[in-house]
Structure formats: structure tokens, C-alpha cells
């Protein structure tokens, strides 16, 4: 076993910075808003807070001194705890994914952080090094990677060419030379993504929440009458102001989208998929291809209009706190590019445009099925009769609009739904205003089910379900397929025994 090492000394500053961020609200109240207060409560509050800061600094110093880690040939060995020691061993073989995150703190000190997500749960679900040098981060990755590559020494698995004195300098390994960059958004695509995400509208609820703070400056009834005349006389000025505000919001949305997706890159090699994103705060993570259990291609209503789609990889193992972002290749891909990326990055997966559609019996069954959501909503409207735009007497109009939307959604869902079995793959597509396409290998589906209710039996229909390993477990359903196809689906899944060997 190698000698135990302490974490990077900047770990103390990183933890202290986290403490300051968590207590920022208290700092502002005690030392800014109440700066001139002589209240005994504020006075002793400041003393207590400063004492807490001193205790925290001492605790962080002891924590850095006692917390250590060891890299053996097969596992991480972590020693944690200040007053009571805790030692845990996390085998490299359990590591599913690796993620680097370079926040503003790391960029200032030219370091980074790296996290290894495992297939376990609880305290052993991840191993995180919050502050490491870029060279050490790559060394840690290669220490884990050699478990599969058969390399005896991690230092032999990488050739370093890094100048730590240069900001933004990265460690380049031999594995990097084998990576193929599949996608990086252009400026035009970033601008298009900002409109699709509607990020510029995020400021509206923020402004709305501040309206109540301006009650003192709002006009009274008499002043309001005069303002109506002012507005009617200068309508062009009001329109110009609205246009200016909308333009500013749109510019802000473009900037926000650029900061998040402007420096986005999707690459892969024979074993992993690599995704890098972020401008001010950079995040880079890798997903092992053998852990991909299924693929989802999703389109919201807005994305369908603009011809965009989002490709998500359903992955076995934990993806950390931001798993929803980690397993997404890119949220605003053109549809054809999304399908092309799947074929390039995961050549073992095969998408097909040839799919079977629901029978006519399914259409009438779906249209005549009662909508409990509409029934409950109509009951609420009937008793509540909301006075919206002065239309309380026309509550039934809102009920009618809701009914039309539900009917349209069911018609679109019937039209979009498709299913097919392509050799060892199953491909399912569902959705009304938005769509979701699911593709999985038979060997990755761990459980299936077919069910029929009374009406489905009479119409010769059935519902099927699949289960894939993920965190949380992924359940996919398809309603109202023909009984013949449901039987074919069960027969297809029984052949899984020939592909999977139970250990």
C-alpha cells in the first residue's frame, strides 16, 4: 500500500469559502443592515458569529491534518473524521463515471475538482476531491482507468504535458489523442438555443416578486386617471419602452445561454463519452459506454417547432446531484444531428425510422377514455369561479379550453406513438405536444410486463412496460398496442437468456 496523503492545502480555503457562502445572509444582516445598531441582540450576535468563524477555522485545520487518502492498486482508501476516525475503501471497479468541475475558485488558483461516481449507494456512492491540481486529477483518472486497461502503474498510463504556470493549461494524456470531437455549437446555434430555452423569461417572475416593494411609489386612484390620459397620448413611448425591455431580456438570455453552453464539446473514444461545458465555470465529465443502458431523444413543444431535440443517455450508476444535466449530450441539437450523434458515439445502437403505429381501435379507446384531470378541474372551476379578466360568469370557457387541449394532446399522442423490434433492440416513441423516443438493447432491459384491462381485452389491445437499470430506475410504458405485437414482444424478450449470463 502506498503512503497516505493529505488533501491539497487549498482545501482549507475552499471549505472556508463554502462556509462564508452558507452564512452570507447572516453576515449581511449583522454587519451591513445593522451596521450602526447598538442593540444587545446584534452586539452579541456579532460576537457569537465571530466565535463561530474562529471555531470553524480551527476545525478546518484539524480536518485537513487528519483527513487522508491512499491510492492502492485496486481501490481508494479514505480516512476521514476529526474526533472519531472513519476509514472506507472504494474499489476502482465500482467507479461508473468521472466528473471534473472547475469553478471560479478553482480558476483563480489554477486547480480543479474531480468526483468519481460509483454503483453503490449512501456514503460510498462517490469519491470527491474538491481541490486537486490538474496533473493530479488526470493521475487519479488514469489510476481508475488502468483497472480496465491492464496498466501496472498509473504514471505509465499517461504522458503529462502541462505547465501549471499557464492559466487554463490542461493535462494531456495518450487517451486524449484518441478522442474524436463530434459536436461543438456555433454562435448561431447558441442564439437559437437561447430562444428555445426561453431563458430570457426567467427574469419575469423575479421582477414580479419585487412589485410589492414599490407600493409607496405607485399612484392612487386620482393619479391613475391622469396617467391613463398620459399613456394614451404617448402610446408610442410606452411601446418603445416595452420593446427595449424585451430586447434587453433577450440579450440577457443569450448571454446566460452562452455562459452555460457556449464552450460545449462532445467527444468520445472507444470506451467513453466526454462532455465539456461552461465558460466561467467549466465542467468536464465522462460516461463509460458499457454503462449506457438506453437512449432517449426528447422534444418539447418548442423544440418540435424549431426542429431541435435533446439526447439523453440512461446510465447505470449514480450521476451525482446534477444527474439530469450530466446524462444529456446537448439540449438543443438539430434532429438529424441528434440521430447522427447517437450513431457516431454509440455505434452499437441502431436507430430506425421504420416503426409500427397504433391501430384504429386504440384511437377511439383513447378518445373515449374519461379524463379525471378535466373532471376535477371543471368541478373546481364550477365552485370557485375565478374572476380572471372579469370573466367569472364564463368559467365554462376555461373548462372548454382545457378540454380542447386534452383532446388535441390525445390526438397528437396517437399520431406520434410508434414501436418496433429491430433485432436485439426495442424502440418506443410516445408523446403529445412533446415526444420521447426510447431505444434500448434487449440485454439492458432487466424486466418487462404486459397488462390488459377489461376494455383492452375486448378491443384486442394491451399495455407493455420495460425496466432499465439507472438511478432512479427507468420505467418505460407503451399503452394500447395490439395483442399480437405484445405477444411478439414477450417472445422477443425470452431470447434474452441467450445473451445474458447470470453470475
Give, as one character, the DSSP assignment of residue 161: -
Spatial contact of 260 and 278, defined as CB atoms under 8 Å apart? yes
3-state secondary structure of 143: helix
Q: What is the mean pLDDT of residues 107-115?
A: 91
**Strand 308-315 vs strand 333-334: parallel, antiparallel, or unpaired?**
antiparallel
pLDDT at position 11 is 94
Whole-Å CA distances, 350 to 165, 177, 341, 500 = 46, 27, 11, 20
- 65-74, 325-334, 405-414, 447-456: least confidently modelled range: 325-334
At residue 213 the predicted structure's pLDDT band, cuts being 50, 70 and 90, is: very low
At residue 459 the predicted structure's pLDDT band, cuts being 50, 70 and 90, is: very high
Spatial contact of 378 and 394, defined as CB atoms under 8 Å apart? no
- What residue segments make up the domains of the chain, in order of their start? 5-177, 187-261, 350-503
Beta-carbon contacts of residue 454 (< 8 Å; ≥ 6 apart):
none
C-alpha triplet 50, 56, 57: angle, nearest 5°: 95
Structure confidence by residue, pLDDT tens digits, 328-339? 888 888 888 898
Spatial contact of 316 and 290, defined as CB atoms under 8 Å apart? no
- pLDDT of 270 higher than 90: no
pLDDT at position 320 is 53
- pLDDT of 204 higher than 60: no
- pLDDT of 153 higher than 50: no
CA dist 321 and 294 (Å) reads 20
At residue 176 the predicted structure's pLDDT band, cuts being 50, 70 and 90, is: low
Spatial contact of 254 and 188, defined as CB atoms under 8 Å apart? no
CA dist 3 and 147 (Å) reads 20
Q: What is the mean pLDDT of residues 75-83?
A: 87
- pLDDT of 49 higher than 90: yes
Please state, rounded to an integer, the average pLDDT across all residues of the chain.
Answer: 81
Q: What is the mean pLDDT of residues 414-420?
A: 94
Structure confidence by residue, pLDDT tens digits, 219-233? 444 554 555 555 556
Transcribe 380-443 into DSSP letters.
HHHHH---STT-GGGHHHHHHHHHHHHHHHHHHHHHH-EEEEETTEEEEEE-SSSEEEEEEEGG
Q: What is the mean pLDDT of residues 89-97?
A: 85
At residue 360 the predicted structure's pLDDT band, cuts being 50, 70 and 90, is: very high
- pLDDT of 253 higher than 80: no
CB-based burial, 285-322: b 16+ in 10 Å, e otherwise? bbbbbebbbbbbbbbbeebbebebbbbbbbbbbbbbee
Q: Which of 351, 273, 267 is nearest to 309 (CA)?
A: 351
Spatial contact of 463 and 282, defined as CB atoms under 8 Å apart? no
Q: Cell triple for residue 257?
A: 445561454
Sheet holding 126-132, edge to edge: 126-132, 112-118, 95-102, 282-288, 272-277, 265-268, 180-183
At residue 174 the predicted structure's pLDDT band, cuts being 50, 70 and 90, is: very low
CATH code linked to domain 350-503? 2.30.29.30
pLDDT > 90: what percent of the chain? 35
- pLDDT of 145 higher than 80: no
pLDDT > 70: what percent of the chain? 80
CB-based burial, 78-112: b 16+ in 10 Å, e otherwise? beeeeeeeeeeebebebbbbbbbbbbebbeeeebb
pLDDT at position 332 is 85
- pLDDT of 118 higher than 70: yes
Work out the number of other CB atoms within 10 angstroms of the CB of residue 167.
9
- 379-388, 447-456, 462-471: least confidently modelled range: 379-388
Spatial contact of 228 and 235, defined as CB atoms under 8 Å apart? no
At residue 163 the predicted structure's pLDDT band, cuts being 50, 70 and 90, is: very low
Amino acid at each position: 500500500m502506498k503512503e497516505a496523503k493529505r488533501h491539497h492545502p487549498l482545501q482549507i480555503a475552499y471549505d472556508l469559502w463554502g462556509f462564508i457562502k452558507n452564512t452570507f445572509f447572516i453576515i449581511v444582516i449583522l454587519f451591513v443592515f445593522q451596521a450602526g445598531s447598538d442593540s444587545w441582540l446584534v452586539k452579541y450576535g456579532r460576537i457569537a458569529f465571530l466565535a463561530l468563524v474562529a471555531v470553524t477555522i480551527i476545525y478546518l485545520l484539524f480536518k485537513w491534518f487528519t483527513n487522508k487518502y491512499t491510492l492502492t492498486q485496486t481501490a481508494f482508501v479514505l480516512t476521514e473524521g476529526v474526533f472519531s476516525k472513519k476509514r472506507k475503501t472504494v474499489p476502482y471497479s465500482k467507479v461508473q463515471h468521472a466528473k471534473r468541475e472547475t469553478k471560479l475558485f478553482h480558476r483563480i488558483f489554477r486547480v480543479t475538482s474531480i468526483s468519481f461516481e460509483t454503483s453503490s449507494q449512501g456514503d460510498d456512492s462517490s469519491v470527491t476531491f474538491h481541490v486537486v491540481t490538474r496533473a493530479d486529477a488526470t493521475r487519479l483518472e488514469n489510476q481508475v482507468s488502468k483497472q480496465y486497461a491492464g496498466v501496472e502503474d498509473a504514471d505509465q498510463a499517461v504522458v503529462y504535458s502541462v505547465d501549471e504556470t499557464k492559466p487554463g493549461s490542461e493535462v494531456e494524456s495518450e487517451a486524449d489523442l484518441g478522442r474524436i470531437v463530434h459536436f461543438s455549437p456555433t454562435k448561431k446555434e447558441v442564439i437559437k438555443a437561447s430562444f428555445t430555452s426561453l431563458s430570457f423569461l426567467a427574469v419575469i417572475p423575479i421582477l414580479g416578486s419585487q412589485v410589492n416593494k414599490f407600493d409607496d411609489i405607485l399612484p392612487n386612484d386620482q393619479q391613475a386617471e391622469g396617467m391613463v390620459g398620459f399613456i394614451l397620448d404617448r402610446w408610442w413611448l410606452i411601446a418603445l419602452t416595452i420593446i427595449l425591455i424585451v430586447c434587453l431580456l433577450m440579450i440577457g438570455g443569450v448571454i446566460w445561454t452562452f455562459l452555460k453552453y457556449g464552450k460545449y464539446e462532445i467527444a468520445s473514444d472507444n470506451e467513453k463519452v466526454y462532455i465539456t461545458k461552461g465558460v466561467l465555470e467549466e465542467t468536464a465529465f465522462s460516461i463509460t459506454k458499457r454503462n449506457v443502458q438506453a437512449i432517449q431523444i426528447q422534444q418539447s413543444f418548442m423544440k418540435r417547432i424549431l426542429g431541435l431535440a435533446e439526447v439523453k443517455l440512461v446510465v447505470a450508476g449514480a450521476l451525482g446531484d446534477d444527474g439530469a444535466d450530466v446524462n444529456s449530450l446537448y439540449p438543443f441539437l438539430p434532429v438529424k444531428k441528434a440521430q447522427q450523434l447517437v450513431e457516431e458515439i454509440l455505434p452499437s445502437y441502431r436507430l430506425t425510422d421504420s416503426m409500427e403505429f397504433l391501430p384504429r381501435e386504440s384511437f377511439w379507446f383513447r378518445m373515449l377514455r374519461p379524463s379525471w384531470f378535466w373532471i376535477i378541474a371543471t368541478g373546481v372551476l364550477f365552485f370557485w369561479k375565478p374572476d380572471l379578466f372579469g370573466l367569472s360568469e364564463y368559467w365554462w370557457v376555461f373548462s372548454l379550453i382545457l378540454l380542447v387541449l386534452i383532446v388535441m394532446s390525445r390526438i397528437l399522442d396517437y399520431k406520434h406513438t410508434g414501436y418496433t423490434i429491430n433485432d436485439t433492440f426495442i424502440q418506443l416513441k410516445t408523446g403529445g405536444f412533446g415526444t420521447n423516443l426510447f431505444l434500448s438493447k434487449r440485454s439492458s432491459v432487466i424486466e418487462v410486463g404486459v397488462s390488459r384491462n377489461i376494455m383492452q381485452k375486448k378491443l384486442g389491445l394491451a399495455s407493455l412496460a420495460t425496466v432499465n437499470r439507472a438511478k432512479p430506475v427507468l420505467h418505460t410504458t407503451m399503452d394500447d398496442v395490439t395483442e399480437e405485437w405484445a405477444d411478439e414482444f414477450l417472445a422477443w424478450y425470452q431470447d434474452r437468456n441467450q445473451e445474458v449470463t447470470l453470475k
